[in-house]
Structure formats: structure tokens, C-alpha cells
Amino acid sequence: MNYWKEFSKGLLSDNPVLVMLLGMCSVLAVSTSVINALGMGFAATFVLVMANIVISSIRKIVPSNIRIPVYIVVIAGFVTIIELIMKAYVPDLYTSLGIFIPLIVVNCIILGRAEAFASKNGIIASLFDGLGMGLGYTIALCALAFFREVIGAGKLMGISLFGANFQPALIMILPPGAFITLGCMLAFLNKMQEKKAS
């Protein structure tokens, strides 16, 4: 099944964060808790799917030398939509994600998929590609947030896990923890791949 392939490549084999190393800024910044990670992942997936659909449907009428500005305007339009929706319905999440919602515009994953996939493929294929990439991004974000929240705050989804005596390693919630955890995760994936290859 062709569409299944477009969808599933984003999840693991071509994961935008863990394999292609795109969109690191938002991944490192919002992974302080699993709730934030889910919210950010949802917002980015929405923009990715919608932008892919629109860009794929206008791919034949956009002259190729102004395509990048056109793509950016399309993406910025959808980012504004999700920004207004989140502000209206989930104001707490909106406040805690803060500046990283408007910054979805400059997330390299979205422009990257528009340029590398949606500008060359049909609408349905682009939809599945966007969905797969968005979910891959969300999975990576949640995995990082899971480790940071459990070790750094002793909580998961805001629920205390280890009781009152647990001394959380605060550094994991602070900026250094994001870099170090992601580094270790990538090293672990390398290890797995090495094992698979041998």
C-alpha cells in the first residue's frame, strides 16, 4: 500500500527529529512536560498536514522562482489559525508554549516537507506524508518530555509518581537537561541501529 509507506516513513525510518535532526529548537524548548509536548505536537501536525495539502494543490500554478515566499505565506496563515484557536480554547497551554507557537512558521520540518515532498506529489500522498511526519515529531517530542518530566519533576502528565520523599533532579527540567537527554537518546538509537546492522 503506497499511502501507508508515505505515512509510516515519518514515524521511524525518516523521523524528522531523531533521524533528520530538523526542528530541534521547539523540541528542546517545549519538552519540559508531556502535556506541553502533546500540545505542541498537535499544533505542528495540524500546520504540517494543512500546509502540505494546500501546497500540493497549488504546486502546478506557482512559478518556481517565487515558491519559497509563497510556501512561507501559506504556512504562516495556518500557524495564525492554530494560534488563534489555541488562544481561545486552551489558554493555559497557549501561555506555557508561548513564543514557540508563532515560531512554528520557521520550523524547518514544515518548509522542508513542503519543498521536498508536497511540491512534487499529489494531494492524498502529501496529506499522509504530513500526518506521518507530524506524528513522528510528536512521538520524539513526547519521548524526550517523558524522560525530562519523570526524572526532573517526578511527575507524569502532572500526576506525582514517586511520593513526597522523591528528590527530583532539577537539572533535567532546566535547559541543560534537554540537550543532554536528547544527546543520550540519539546515542541510544545509534546503538540500536548498530545492533540491527551486525
| Residues of the shown chain interacting with other proteins in the complex, contacts defined by CB under 8 A | 21-26, 28-29, 69, 72-73, 76-77, 79-80, 83-84, 99, 102-103, 105-108, 111, 171, 174-180, 182-184, 186-188, 190-191, 194
Q: Which is nearer to other proteins, 73 or 161 (CB)?
A: 73
What is the helix (H) or strand (E) element at residue 94, kind and residue range? helix 91-97
Residue count of the chain, please give it. 198
| Residue 192, all three cell numbers | 540500536
Q: Is 63 left (phi over 0), alpha (psi -120 to 50) or beta?
A: beta
| Residue 53, all three cell numbers | 495539502
Q: In angstroms, what is the minimal distance from the CB of 157 to other proteins? A: 22
Q: In angstroms, what is the minimal distance from the CB of 92 to other proteins? A: 18
Cβ count near 181 (within 10 Å)? 21
Q: Which is nearer to other proteins, 6 or 26 (CB)?
A: 26
Q: Which is nearer to other proteins, 14 or 123 (CB)?
A: 14
Q: In angstroms, what is the minimal distance from the CB of 63 to other proteins? A: 16
Q: In angstroms, what is the minimal distance from the CB of 93 to other proteins? A: 17
Which has the closest alpha carbon to 138: 65, 64, 36? 36
Residue 183's alpha-carbon distances to 88, 141, 145, 188, in angstroms, are 36, 13, 14, 9
Q: Which is nearer to other proteins, 157 or 184 (CB)?
A: 184
Q: Which is nearer to other proteins, 4 or 188 (CB)?
A: 188
